[in-house]
């Protein structure tokens, strides 16, 4: 099953810990149970699910995210119910892919560095990123250091600002201009403003 085809409509697939597709959402949003399933997940999606299934339940994150392509995100929600542990899979278009893809090209980031960057931009800590990507926290710190180097930043904040082409000098100019406008509106300043106008 090419799971990337799910992105064209809001669809969900529910799989068990052995990566067998158990339920598929219909276009009307209802879930249909599959009695016999010959549907197979893509290899990379199956490997991602198997890693999540192998995590101890108390350490497992309820929601995990992975990049399928430059503009598609796989969101996996871990649920526990009467049938045991299941995973709800949805494929969504990455609304931030344009700016992230531009940053990846501009700074020559690898696919994994781009994944780490997207999770940093989501506000995830190194520990959370390590858990979501099934990496050690030390490895995530290594990716973070490479991102700092490639973007020429000194810290996380300046790295994010650089990714979005934030120009602090331009920002400073705006704040000075707005403070001048605020002074012009201050009580007792109206006569000066009117006289110079």
Taken in order 138, 120, 99, 93, the sign of the CA dihedral is: positive
Task: Tell me the domain boundaries of the chain.
Answer: 3-93, 97-166
The CATH topology of domain 3-93 is Beta-Lactamase (3.30.450)
Could you say which architecture CATH assigns to the domain 97-166?
Orthogonal Bundle (1.10)
d(CA 26, CA 100): 32
d(CA 70, CA 46): 19
- This prediction has a pTM of 0.47
Residue-wise pLDDT tens for the chain (197 aa)? 445 444 445 478 888 888 888 888 766 656 565 555 567 788 888 888 888 888 887 777 788 887 777 677 788 889 988 888 899 888 877 666 667 777 888 889 999 999 999 898 888 899 999 998 999 999 999 999 999 999 888 998 888 887 776 655 444 434 334 444 444 454 544 433 333 43
């Amino acid at each position: 099953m090419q799971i990337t085809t799910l992105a064209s409509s809001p669809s969900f697939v529910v799989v068990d810990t052995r990566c067998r597709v158990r339920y598929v959402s219909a276009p009307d949003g209802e879930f249909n149970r599959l009695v016999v399933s010959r549907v197979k997940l893509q290899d990379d999606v199956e490997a991602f699910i198997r890693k999540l299934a192998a995590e101890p339940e108390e350490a497992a994150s309820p929601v995990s995210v992975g990049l399928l392509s430059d503009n598609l995100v796989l969101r996996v929600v871990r649920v526990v119910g009467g049938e045991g542990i299941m995973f709800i899979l949805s494929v969504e278009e990455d609304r931030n892919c344009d700016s992230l893809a531009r940053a990846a090209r501009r700074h020559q980031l690898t696919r994994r560095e781009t994944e780490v960057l997207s999770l940093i931009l989501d506000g995830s800590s190194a520990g959370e990123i390590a858990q979501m990507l099934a990496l050690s926290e030390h490895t995530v710190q290594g990716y973070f250091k490479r991102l700092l180097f490639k973007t020429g930043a000194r810290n996380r904040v300046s790295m994010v600002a650089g990714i979005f082409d934030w120009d602090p000098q331009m920002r400073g100019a705006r704040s000075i201009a707005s403070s001048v406008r605020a002074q012009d509106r201050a009580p007792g300043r109206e006569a000066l403003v009117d006289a110079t106008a």
